[in-house]
Chain A
């Protein structure tokens, strides 16, 4: 009995030792900065030593800041690409699921943009969107369409970046959908066929509900990722685009914090961004639960 409790004590001791590093990492680089971020959002921290408590001033300023609204709008606007990407990827996955010739090759090719460096991809697409010599306008020219100078026009810069993001993420989304579709038991479809269901009914009543967890996962991760869009903006439109029409929230935070050293103000924005992500995730989980019960 004595040895057993000794053994247990030793196990506990080693157990805590083994999880020590990630727990410390979480406290130092996750929890503490989060709390500090909230605290500094109530100050005029400038990164050079000044840090006075100014109450809600940053927040009242923020909600009158036109550029912040603009950055918020731009960020949300570019998220229109999320459902478009999901639908395209699901259709591609349904096609691949038929077991046609070349499935493996297609999976690999569609996945190449996913593993590619976002910086390099952004550089490439900036060139492809060039008004006179870019690949995109050359392609449109085949159909007699004269394309705009995509990144220099305030109406096309957001759709252009969105399109690139869809292109880059398509392979990943498709892969997850394909895996989900393939995990649906075959006899579901056989039973549906016996009951005289057509392929649309089979999709709507079997496939779609069965891939719902993946759709849910993708929506949540895409919103979390989409609300942090930065690299594309920074490289393709280094000033935030014509009339600031492509600047995202993170781009604006970055400019304020590390360009203007208004770190307190930038912290307030980062708190708003964090809350936004938290709320969206929460709503999604709620929705997912309630539709489970329905």
Chain B
């Protein structure tokens, strides 16, 4: 009786979860479906999920309709330079915070952590003034430079991860006369690679999808990031009710992170799950 009840329960829950899954995925499918419709069948009532006719033309048109390619390039430049340099500075700092004897390091670490409580909108105006003083407005620099100094979230998780690494390994290397950069490069970095990979991807996604900072600094169309470009598509072409074009551009903006997610979904989901339990 008990197992039978459980089976019925399982089936009911499966159905509920499946309905939920449809709700999660349907808007995205609709987006793709709209992007391959012609301009008129978008307004068909009742709506058609499978377009008739299939029109792929919008995926060609979008590249001429706005600086989409330039937007992708700008987003890549920002995200790649920040994450690569920033991961280096963050992991180096995490190593020092976790394993080196530095007076006052816990106090310093807490100070850094406190920056998590400072909302970006509270510092964006002074930061804007600073960068405008340097003549960096409408360049990618204000979006790159702060990130090069590292990311406290990444430092936090790498430090946590490193605390499970026995000190003896490092002591032994020190006695062998390995330099501190050598210890970092040859022992620490290979050890924390899996943790770095997950944090790296999450950070990359965060920068890729960022909107507020780019909208403040970037004004000329050829300087804008992908997210701003598609927002401009939305504002410009909605008046002409060219929804297929807007949706096609948005699909392009979604696709890279979706692919990254599908490839690394196991690592991403695991590391996010761990972060919640520890945090």
Contact = CB atoms under 8 A, between A and B. Distances in A.
Interface of A: 7-8, 10-12, 14-16, 18-19, 21-26, 28-34, 36-37, 40, 45, 47, 92, 95-96, 98, 100-102, 105-113, 115-120, 123-128, 132-133, 135, 138, 141, 167, 170-172, 175-176, 178-180, 183, 214, 217-218, 224, 227-228, 230-231, 234-235, 238, 249-250, 253-254, 257-258, 263, 266-267, 270-271, 273-274, 277-278, 281
Contacts of B272: 172, 175-176
B138 to A, nearest CB: 13
Interface of B: 9-10, 13-14, 16-18, 20-21, 23-28, 30-31, 34, 42-43, 45-47, 89-90, 92-93, 95-97, 100-103, 105, 108, 111-112, 115, 117-130, 132, 146, 148-150, 152, 155, 174, 180, 184, 205, 208-209, 211-212, 215-216, 226-228, 230-231, 234-235, 238, 243, 246-247, 250-251, 253-254, 257-258, 260-262, 265, 268-269, 272-274, 276-277, 279
B21 A258 contact: no
A240 B268 CA distance: 35
Contacts, number: 287
A18 B100 contact: yes
Contacts of A172: 272
Contacts of B25: 109, 112
Nearest to B142: A29
Q: Is the interface of B mostly helix, strand, loop or mixed?
A: helix
B261 A112 contact: yes
Which of A31, A36, A117, A238 has the largest count of B CB atoms less than 10 A from its CB? A117
A32 B127 CA distance: 9
B81 to A, nearest CB: 15
Contacts of A257: 124-125, 128
24 contacts: A10-B180, A11-B174, A12-B101, A15-B96, A18-B92, A18-B100, A37-B122, A100-B10, A101-B14, A109-B24, A111-B261, A111-B269, A116-B257, A124-B27, A124-B28, A133-B47, A183-B277, A217-B276, A228-B120, A230-B211, A250-B212, A253-B125, A254-B121, A273-B119
A128 B57 CA distance: 22
A18 B93 CA distance: 5
A106 B152 contact: no
A104 to B, nearest CB: 9
Given A22-B90, A179-B274, A118 B211 contact: yes
B126 A32 contact: yes
A19 B97 contact: yes
B13 A118 contact: no
B274 to A, nearest CB: 7
A231 B234 CA distance: 13
Contact of B254 (A102, A120, A135, A254): A120
A275 to B, nearest CB: 9
A119 B126 contact: no
Nearest to A88: B20
A40 B123 CA distance: 11
Contacts of A271: 122
